[in-house]
Structures are given as structure tokens and as C-alpha cells.
Amino acid sequence: MNATAAKLAGFAAALAALFGVGAAAGSIFQPSAPGGDVESAHGGEMAAMAVRGLGVAENGLRIVVADPELRRGRTEQLRFRIVGEDGRAVRDFDIEHTKRMHLIVARRDLTGFQHLHPAMAADGTWTAAVRLRDAGSYRVFADFSHDGEKTTLADDLRVDGMADLRPLPAPATTAVSDGGYDVRLAEDTSRAGEESELRFTVTKDGRAVQTEPYLGAGGHLVALRQGDLAFLHVHPTQGDDGIGFEATFPTTGAYRLFLQFKVRGVVQTVAFTQEVR
């Protein structure tokens, strides 16, 4: 072997050793979810099951948005289809929370929340009128059930103009709905991987307000994780002391809770920041 060949062989051996170290390090240090750390490997499996809406495809289905570019401050018709692996539009959906399709829109900084119920045409195209006041990048979630399997698919929308991004509000136990109702979130230390009870009470001028059923329950709650906007499972609970839900937060970090309830036929929306330890 000449000197040049010997040098090349030595370089190749060093390179292989370097890649081996990198692979070993990669197997030890796994990147955490944007919301924080899961405390164990079992928790990692739980985290994958507890969130949805991280991609455009899941369970053999895919969301196809017709035009993701929207104009700021204009009422636009947002059109999309849910297609199967054969590329054909799916047209049979189960009824979940009294609707066949729930469409959630939120800006990447967790502002501009909207919960819409689109209408489906005969060809499987869903359409919803949406008006986005502020510029920026938005996440749109199609939340539905098909053949008994609950699925949430998500894609990005873009609204023209310079985005004035806002920091996530600090956690607080009280907030005011868009219709002027005072809402209190019962204090509860939420821990990653453990079931939490989220209970809300509604008052107006210091007096308890009797809410009406909305979407088949006392209220509707959407929980989104800061960072990747993972969509969490939440389940309404029965009770006479306010509006209740059960949720399992898969990772530590901040989450934004969007509560909707109905009073005198009008749907109210209010948001809270939940810090999970």
C-alpha cells in the first residue's frame, strides 16, 4: 500500500468512527417536543397517542386545501377535501359533537382562534367562510371521525402582510369572553402524563350564569400546545359545578385553552394559558 492509499484508509476509518459516535449520541439524546420533556419512554408513547394535528396525513387520510393563500381582512371561502390513499375524496363521516366536521383555525402565535362548521358538497369538497383579520401564518385543523376512527389533520394557511406576532399571555385563573362574561378556571396543578380536570365557571356582574348545551355538552374545549400547535384530546365531563373537561397533557410547557360555551343562544369564546409541569 503506498502512502496516499494509507492516508485515505486512515481517513475512512476516522470518518466511520466519527459517524459511529454520532449515531450513539443520537440514540441517547432524543429531541423533546416543542412543549417540553416527557418524563419517561412510556411517556413518549403516551405523548404520540395524546396529540393529533401534527401533519397533513394520518390514518390513511390526507387534507388537501384548495388555496392556502388568503387576503387579510376579507371574507374568503376556504375549501378543502379529505382524500384517501387512492386520491379520491372521502364523503362519509361520523357525527362527532353533533357535527360531521369541525374546522379550527389559529395563528401560529395562538391568536385569531376560530371554530367553524363547514358544509360538504356532493363531490366531497368542504367549504367554510373565514375572515382573518391579521397577517401571518395560520394552522387549520380538520377534526372528524371516519369509520369510527377519530382523526385530526392540519395544514398551513398564509395571510398577506407583515405579521405582528404576540407573546403568549401569562397563565391566569380568570379571563373575559368575547361577549363580556367572566370565566374562572379552577386552580389545578397539571402535570405531564397525568390526567387533569379542567373546570370552568361563568359569571356576569358577580352572578352565576347558567350556560346552555353546546355541541352536545356543557361546552367545547380545544387545547393547543405552544410551539408545534399539537391538538390535544379533551373529554367533557358531567357536573353541576360549571363546565368540566378531562385532559392529559403529554409534555411539560405552555398550552393555550380555547373554551366555547353558549348563553342565550350566542356562542362565547374565551382563552387561557395553562402551564404544565
State the Cα–Cα distance between residues 45 and 248, nearest whole angstrom: 13
* DSSP-derived 3-state class of residue 24: helix
- Give the integer Cα–Cα distance in Å for 205 and 208: 9
Instruction: Output the pLDDT for position 187.
Output: 83
Percent of the chain clearing pLDDT 90 (strictly above): 77
To the question of domain 51-159 being in CATH 2.60.40.10, the answer is yes
Q: Residues spanned by CATH 2.60.40.10 within the chain?
A: 51-159, 174-276
Q: Which fold has domain 174-276?
A: Immunoglobulin-like (2.60.40)
The helix or strand, by DSSP H or E, that contains position 102, with its residue range, turns out to be strand 102-107
* pLDDT computed for residue 189 by the predictor: 83
- Residues 134 and 153: their CA atoms lie apart, in Å, by 23
Residues 234-248 pLDDT 10s: 989 987 789 999 999
Structure-block grid coordinates of residue 60:
390513511
Mean pLDDT on 168-175:
97
Tally of CB atoms within 10 A around 274: 20
Buried b (16+ CB within 10 A) or exposed e, 20-43: eeeeeeeeeeeeebebbebeeeeb
Q: Which string of DSSP letters, residue by residue, matches 190-214? A: --TTSEEEEEEEEEETTEE--PBPB
Count the neighbouring beta carbons within 10 Å of the beta carbon of residue 276.
22
pLDDT band at 34 (very low <50, low <70, confident <90, very high): low
0.85 exceeded by pTM: no
Q: What share of the chain is helix, strand, coil (3-state, %, to 5)?
A: 15, 45, 40
Per DSSP, 269 falls in state E
Average pLDDT of the chain, as a whole number: 86
208-226 tens-digit pLDDT: 999 999 999 999 999 999 9
DSSP code at position 171: P
pLDDT number for residue 45: 47
Q: What is the pLDDT of residue 215?
A: 94
Cβ neighbours of residue 131 closer than 8 Å, sequence gap 6 or more: 73, 74, 75, 76
Q: Which of 141-145, 160-164, 259-263, 270-274 has the lowest mean pLDDT?
A: 160-164
Q: Is the pLDDT of residue 28 over 70?
A: no
Q: Is the pLDDT of residue 266 over 90?
A: yes
pLDDT score of 77: 97
**pLDDT higher than threshold 80 for residue 166:** yes
- pLDDT bin (cut points 50, 70, 90) of residue 9 is very low
Q: Which residue has the cell 380545544?
A: 222
